[in-house]
Chain A
Amino acid sequence: MSKLVGRILGSRWTKVAIFALCLVPILLLARPLWMLATTGYSADLTANPIEYITHYTGTWTIRFLLITLSVTPLRKIFNQPKLARYRRMLGLFAFFYVCLHFLTWFVLDKFFSFSEMWADILKRRYITVGMLGFAMLLPLAVTSTAGWVRRLGFVRWQRLHRLIYFAALAGVIHYYWLVKSDVRLPLLYGAILAVLMLYRFFIWKQPPPKRAPIPTHKPVATTPRTASLPDS
């Protein structure tokens, strides 16, 4: 079973399928947007489509950050090293959705006004912390390539990419500070993040584990690619 899952996870087609799956949230907006553009109204986007899209892309950013942060725990718990192939792609999708989120706000809410944007960033704490999270994701997206892992050296690269913990935390706080009184969803995302971080904390606290048994069907020690599958 585990072997079969491993093979599926290792397939190029699975990766293509997951990539397509990650595009579903944005594709789901296409039809309502088309309706909005042609008829002036789409019930799916509510009577306030700009706010709806801002919240929608923001929600998917947090979800993708949490999905990305789930990869390593799931990989270890289920002993599925191939899961690591998906981490970069998922993280980049989080970045993709946060860019849409930011642009919706900057273009449609602020209408490209840098001065208004700065005023909000400085004055509104939920925007301050949201922008902070966005800013932390920028270097991670830039250095997501194998070339940057080499250039930075793995240890430094890994250290840099731990910024995602703080970006996810910023996202959750940003959401929590935005809602008026119904804090269920921000608390849910916060709880999921807490679980994922606690897992890492306990792993880190544990004495260095014996190496997990190396899959018998294929020698992996020689493939250099494992070097780019760090724990984090």
Chain B
Amino acid sequence: MLIRKSADLRYSDVTPQPTYLNRRRFLAGSIALGAFGGLAGTARAGKIEDFKKTSYNAGDEKVTPLEAITHYNNFYEFGTDKEDPSKNAGNFRTSPWTLKVEGAVAKPLTFDHDGLMKIAPLEERIYRHRCVEAWSIVVPWIGFPLNALLKQAEPTSKAKYVAFESYYDPKQMPLARWGGIQFPYVEGLRLDEAMHPLTLLAVGLYGDALPNQDGAPIRLVVPWKYGFKSAKSLVKIRLVEKQPPTTWNLSASNEYGFYSNVNPQVDHPRWSQAKERRLGELFRRNTLMFNGYSEVASLYAGMDLRKNF
């Protein structure tokens, strides 16, 4: 495993593996596709040398251009406009870093920045990512299944839920105070959701370590749930007995439920979830149940998803 850290390294130096970007297709494609290139030299993330490809390919859907993935973010710690995180997260310190796994586990674990990359073998998975605001992207994440980490920690019989906590430092994140939500950002999953093989801890995307604005150095990715469930910049993973509080639910419980599975039939109280705009496309496309990941349906067998939204 080699993580090169270099201020001089630009995305354009390391990215163009044709399998990702397939730029010809973009350039030849319809309006609003194409030259997402000419990337800003702000990224300092290093290239990830060693990861294996997988068959997770989001049904061969076109991967969203890196420029969109890194310049259209909801990361309220760095401001509420979509471009704010790309502007303001540049100097965010992700090293040193500490991630703790604690709570109802036989073996509490602690990882430092370099340790994050060695928790489990890294693999690339291309996932659809659907925001609760009805836009979506397709991201080539690099990471490992969360269950690989949880198994190392050995959850006890009391572990029923997993609570996630994001980093928060008002000094590094002065704009967070205007976000209108509570910090540190917290999220949660039921244990079986967390153990599902689709649930990922991502440390990179597009072949690089995660850009700061996308949740460096490590973040959750739950592709069948709305994007806000996939908490960024994790510092704590705690196994607990009771359903943990989650940030957006605390902010507006009638709008953001604990489950927040992508569901075209259950609207957000203020807008429809039936369709979404894939970044780079002109018109809206239909949203798929569980964001197209129907293999998770059995997790919710017998549950009223209207009530447990």
Which residues of A does B touch, CB under 8 Å?
36-37, 39-41, 43, 46-51, 108-109, 111, 120, 123-126, 177-178, 180-184
Contact = CB atoms under 8 A, between A and B. Distances in A.
A174 to B, nearest CB: 11
Contacts of A46: 71-72, 82-83
Nearest to A37: B31
Interface string B239-278: 0000000000001100000000000000000111000010
26 contacts: A39-B34, A40-B31, A40-B34, A40-B36, A43-B67, A43-B71, A46-B71, A46-B72, A47-B36, A48-B72, A48-B82, A48-B135, A48-B279, A51-B277, A108-B283, A124-B271, A124-B272, A177-B270, A178-B270, A180-B80, A180-B133, A181-B80, A181-B179, A182-B80, A182-B178, A182-B180
A184 B178 CA distance: 8
B270 A48 contact: no
A181 B32 contact: no
Contact of A109 (B71, B179, B181, B284): B284
B35 interface: yes
Contact of A36 (B32, B65, B68, B270): B32
* Main secondary structure on A side of the interface with B: helix
A46 B135 CA distance: 13
Among B31, B270, B279, chain A packs the most CB atoms within 10 A around the CB of B270
Given A47-B67, A182-B180, A120 B283 contact: no
A40 B24 CA distance: 13
B3 interface: no
Contacts of A41: 32, 34-36, 65, 67
Interface in B270-299: 270-272, 277, 279-280, 282-284
B305 interface: no
A50 B278 CA distance: 11
- 5 smallest CB-CB distances across A and B, nearest first, come from A40-B34, A181-B180, A47-B68, A47-B72, A182-B80
Contacts of B80: 180-182
A36 B180 CA distance: 33
Among A111, A123, A180, A181, chain B packs the most CB atoms within 10 A around the CB of A180
Nearest to A36: B32
Given A46-B82, A51-B135, 11 more contacts: A40-B31, A41-B34, A46-B83, A47-B71, A47-B82, A48-B72, A50-B277, A51-B277, A124-B270, A126-B270, A181-B251
B282 A50 contact: yes
Given A48-B72, A120-B272, A40 B33 contact: yes
B119 interface: no
B167 interface: no
B277 A48 contact: yes
Contacts of A51: 135, 277
Contacts of A125: 270
Contacts of B284: 109
A108 to B, nearest CB: 7
A182 B176 CA distance: 10
Contact of B35 (A40, A48, A178, A182): A40
